[in-house]
Amino acid sequence: MDGRARGTRSSWAARLLLVGGAVCLLASPALPYWAMQVRAPQYPKGLHLRIYPHRLSGDVREIDGLNHYIGMRPLVQGATTERRLAIPALMLISLGLLLAAALPRRWAVAFTLPAILFPLLFVGDLYWWLRDFGLNLDPHAPLNRAIKPFVPTLLGPGRVGQFASVAWFAGGFYLSVAAAAAAALAALLRFRRAPRAGARLTAAMGIILLPVAWPADAATLVVEPSGAHETIASALEAAAPGDTIVVQGGVHRGPLVLEKPVTLIGERGPVIDGGGRGTVVRVEAPDAVVRGFIVRGSGDRLSTDDAGIVVTGARALVEANRIEGVLFGIDVRHAPHTILRRNVLSGMSLPVARRGDLIRVWYSDHVIIEDNELTGGRDAVLWFSQGLAVRRNVVRRARYGLHFMYCHDSLVEDNDVSDSSVGAYLMYSQRLRLWRNRITGNRGPSGYGIGLKDMDEAAVQDNLIADNRVGVFLDNAVGALEANLIAYNDVGVAMLPSVQQVRFAGNSLVENGEQVAIEGLGSASTTTWRGNFWSDYRGYDADGDGVGELPYRSAQLFEQLADRYPSLRLYADSPAARTLEFAAQLFPLFAPRPMLADEAPRVAPLVPAWLAARQGAGP
């Protein structure tokens, strides 16, 4: 009789807990689940953000205004699906608790599982969105150089630049935790005669309550001679995912392997020395950071691709390092969304054919390569990777400054490539944009400033292409070359006769030894030439509209003979060559057929706006 009474009391207690849990869950959206206060110099009293399951409130507009400066998206763009489904989901979960209270069967406990899991799902989803917003900043934001990708704090204090914040879980979240605890306890009472099930439910309650005691910040480990960690290797072994390791100077032996998503920061110029063997640093975990180190002393075997840093984990950030005395510099393999920024790389003193590539990207989409300096390597190779952004890099004394293959939908802008065998060679790619680059002094055996081979929808615009053996070389390329300054090259534009569907518009071809060359027999009549400036144009502008009244026609006898017989270039600008041109003018019978015609040539050169602005700012 007493046992039956105790069972009845337990049953009623379980029902009351389930009903109470349903009430807590239904009431929870009335209160915020998570909140953050942000302090900035212009807002000394702080800004507040409150997140409910179904909406945002507080100083959202002002916080978005601050986030704009660091490149973070507007807050309303996050978790749109979750907010739309939150209220119906909470109603269904509460209904499940009421059904579990009404049905006496043990299997009805299954209706409590969504309520038990709900707080954990909320925390996981919130953390995922914080990471997504913090690690995907707009690279064109005003403070993109000062503020690097980061993960906003989930609980506790945090700081990004001049912005300080503190985050906490609020009343609505604790109501959902109370509902989860009530549901778990009710299920435990229903299964009070099944100890194993009860133990599992108790463990589940511990997991649900874990976010309440979430650590304020990831740990920071310091590597220094008298500290807890004297070597980077020991700190890497002790670190947990998300931790930061700060290395205070010193010379440290490689190789090192980052197998966890940690942030490795060097202060006071610490050195990682590979001792002349193998690869110095391997980044194998996703979301890892390597910043502020001198990495040197890799092996010198091309067969094993010995490198300074090899990245195989997605979303890595390799930033502000000096990588010297290495065979390969930074080698990115199957690591999409990696960022290589503000690194200085120099290769070994080896013959060009024995050097490695200072940057190599292999099967890694959406990689960003910006503000790096490369000197004395073989190539910067980017192969089989789409959506790349390569900007503001400086490349000196290489074989191929930039070498692209199968890199569709990529952007190459504001780079400076000089003193190499070839400046930029682009192959087998679609919709690749080459904008505002400075390509100069590339005078190797081929000596192309820019080479385009088997390209589709290429856009080459606003570039300075000067003092190369050949300014632009075209081989079966389709696209447009617009507003480029092509000057003082031995040959301005060289192309194969098979080139078609290329449009030249608004370019300035200035004092090239030969403006346009067709290799072998053929003409450039299958391409479109309009509105270009030609320094050897002999027409006039009668109406002052900047366009010559006569078409420009490229019809120099010696140049066409040299295109057919390249050995004749030895006599370029010689008295014999000038005599031949003079004779062709005197006797039209011997005048060659024009290779190309520009029906609306400009009478004054067009200098790219970025170059004009730089010249205006100079001494």
Nearest in space to 450 (alpha carbons), one of 355, 477, 430:
477
Q: Which of 58-72, 351-365, 403-417, 598-612 has the weakest average pLDDT?
A: 58-72
424 and 501 within one domain: yes
Q: Give 526's contacts (C-beta < 8 A, 6+ positions apart).
A: 499, 500, 501
Nearest in space to 282 (alpha carbons), one of 244, 331, 320, 246:
331
Question: What residue numbers bound the domain in which 178 lies?
Answer: 2-213
Residue 16: pLDDT band (50, 70, 90) is: confident
85 and 42 within one domain: yes
- Split into its structural domains, the chain has a count of 3
Given a contact cutoff of 8 angstroms between Cβ atoms, the answer to whether 179 and 163 are in contact is: no
Structure tokens at 605: 């050169």
Alpha-carbon span 548 to 544, nearest angstrom: 9
Nearest in space to 448 (alpha carbons), one of 411, 482, 398, 413:
398
Given a contact cutoff of 8 angstroms between Cβ atoms, the answer to whether 329 and 307 are in contact is: yes
Per-residue pLDDT tens digits for 390-439: 999 999 999 999 999 999 999 999 999 999 999 999 999 999 999 999 99
Structure confidence at residue 617 (pLDDT): 56
515 and 371 within one domain: no
Structure tokens at 119: 């707080």
Q: Report the share of the chain in percent with pLDDT over 90.
A: 53
350 and 224 within one domain: yes
Per-residue pLDDT tens digits for 192-222: 544 444 444 444 444 444 444 444 457 899 9
Residue 108 has pLDDT above 90, yes or no: no
226 and 192 within one domain: no
Alpha-carbon span 165 to 39, nearest angstrom: 6
What letter would DSSP give residue 430?
Answer: B
Residue finishing a domain among 191, 213, 235: 213
- What's the half-sphere exposure (Cβ side, CA atoms, 13 Å) at 447? 16
Q: Give 234's contacts (C-beta < 8 A, 6+ positions apart).
A: 223
Residue 488 has pLDDT above 80, yes or no: yes
Q: Which residues pair with 267 in a beta bridge?
A: 248
Residue finishing a domain among 381, 414, 429: 381
252 and 156 within one domain: no
Q: Give 77's contacts (C-beta < 8 A, 6+ positions apart).
A: none
DSSP β-ladder status, 251-253 and 156-160: unpaired
- What's the half-sphere exposure (Cβ side, CA atoms, 13 Å) at 453? 10
Residue 525: pLDDT band (50, 70, 90) is: low
> For residue 281, what is the domain's CATH number?
2.160.20.10
Q: How far lies 298's CA from each of 247, 323, 394, in Å?
A: 20, 10, 23
Per-residue pLDDT tens digits for 575-614: 665 555 555 554 454 555 667 889 999 999 999 999 888 7
Three-class secondary structure assignment of 271-299: EEECCCCCCCEEECCCCCEEECCEEECCC
Q: How far lies 558's CA from each of 298, 315, 515, 553, 573, in Å?
A: 52, 55, 13, 15, 10
Q: Does residue 12 sit within a domain?
A: yes
Please tell me which residue, 289 or 150, carries the higher pLDDT value: 289
What letter would DSSP give residue 218?
Answer: -
Q: Give 538's contacts (C-beta < 8 A, 6+ positions apart).
A: none
Q: Give 7's contacts (C-beta < 8 A, 6+ positions apart).
A: none
Q: Does residue 549 sit within a domain?
A: no
107 and 127 within one domain: yes
358 and 308 within one domain: yes
Q: Does residue 207 sit within a domain?
A: yes
Per-residue pLDDT tens digits for 121-176: 999 998 888 888 888 887 777 666 666 788 888 888 877 766 778 888 988 999 99
Q: Does residue 306 sit within a domain?
A: yes
Residue 520 has pLDDT above 70, yes or no: no
Residue finishing a domain among 381, 397, 425: 381
390 and 375 within one domain: no
Q: Does residue 298 sit within a domain?
A: yes
CA 240 to chain centre: 26
278 and 198 within one domain: no
Alpha-carbon span 230 to 85, nearest angstrom: 51
528 and 488 within one domain: yes
119 and 83 within one domain: yes
pTM over 0.85: no
Q: Which residues pair with 390 in a beta bridge?
A: 369, 412
Structure confidence at residue 133 (pLDDT): 86
Q: How far lies 332's CA from each of 310, 337, 348, 451, in Å?
A: 6, 10, 19, 24
For CA atoms 591, 593, 599, 605, the dihedral sign is negative
Helices within 468-529 (DSSP H only): none
Three-class secondary structure assignment of 228-256: CECCHHHHHHHCCCCCEEEEECCEEECCE
